[in-house]
Chains A and B, each alone.
Chain A
């Protein structure tokens, strides 16, 4: 069954630590996205990639980094520069940028 897998489901970060959230898709989609969701604020775009080896900053990229070395994978690193990382992170993919997005089940990141 095709879909998007995010791991881990829950993640805890210590002060000054970088953490990486995994996102893998087997839908053969070109475009992939990372969103941050906070209560009452909807989805805010962190980074997106429309093709392998290329990605662009979204609206709230500061303190985050990504890579897109393979079509199937789009990991997100939350760096120590992100001072308020506690949120629900969602990864999505789509065939092309104007088509419906398919979402993973999210990773909830908290600070220890």
Chain B
């Protein structure tokens, strides 16, 4: 069975500070991992994805995430927060379960950027 845990449903950072959003997953098969961003009253947009290969993945808007198999983690980071980064962020995992791909979203983390 697969699952995704996002620790910290609300995260506040100062403008210019490091952004760190945590995601831990559980999967019995090599997972595909994703981060999405959602702005108010909109759908989700893909920030970045990990499938295979390089474990450090760079995405849009200066975000990146590192796949750490030993820690079953895929934390999202950005060196310097901008006011426009304020949004809700979702981690997701996809993996083969009983011959079918299951796609699981975390419960989300709302990022607030303080001036």
A-to-B contact residues, CB < 8 Å: 4, 6, 33, 35, 40-43, 45, 88, 90, 92, 96-106, 108
CB-based nearest A residue for B32 = A98
Interface residue? B24 (CB, 8 A): no
Minimum CB–CB distance for A35 against chain B, Å: 8
Interface residue? B107 (CB, 8 A): yes
CB-based nearest B residue for A3 = B43
Asked whether, in the complex, the Cβ of A101 is within 8 Å of the Cβ of B108, the reply is no
**Contact-size category for B:** 20 to 34
The CA-CA distance from A47 to B106 in the complex, in Å, is 18
Asked whether, in the complex, the Cβ of A103 is within 8 Å of the Cβ of B45, the reply is yes
The CA-CA distance from A101 to B95 in the complex, in Å, is 14
Selected contact of B46 from candidates A4, A45, A100, CB within 8 Å: A100
Q: Quick one: given A41-B107, A42-B106, A43-B90, are A100 and B43 in contact (CB under 8 Å)?
A: no
CB-based nearest A residue for B107 = A42
Q: Which residues of A contact B95 (CB under 8 A)?
A: 98
Q: Which residues of B contact A97 (CB under 8 A)?
A: 94, 100-101, 103
Selected contact of B9 from candidates A6, A40, A101, CB within 8 Å: A40
Asked whether, in the complex, the Cβ of A104 is within 8 Å of the Cβ of B105, the reply is no
Interface residue? B82 (CB, 8 A): no
Asked whether, in the complex, the Cβ of A105 is within 8 Å of the Cβ of B9, the reply is no
Asked whether, in the complex, the Cβ of B43 is within 8 Å of the Cβ of A42, the reply is no
Within 8 A of A (CB), among B87-115: 90, 94-96, 100-101, 103, 105-108
Selected contact of B108 from candidates A42, A90, A103, CB within 8 Å: A42
CB-based nearest B residue for A56 = B100
Asked whether, in the complex, the Cβ of A98 is within 8 Å of the Cβ of B90, the reply is no
CB-based nearest B residue for A106 = B43
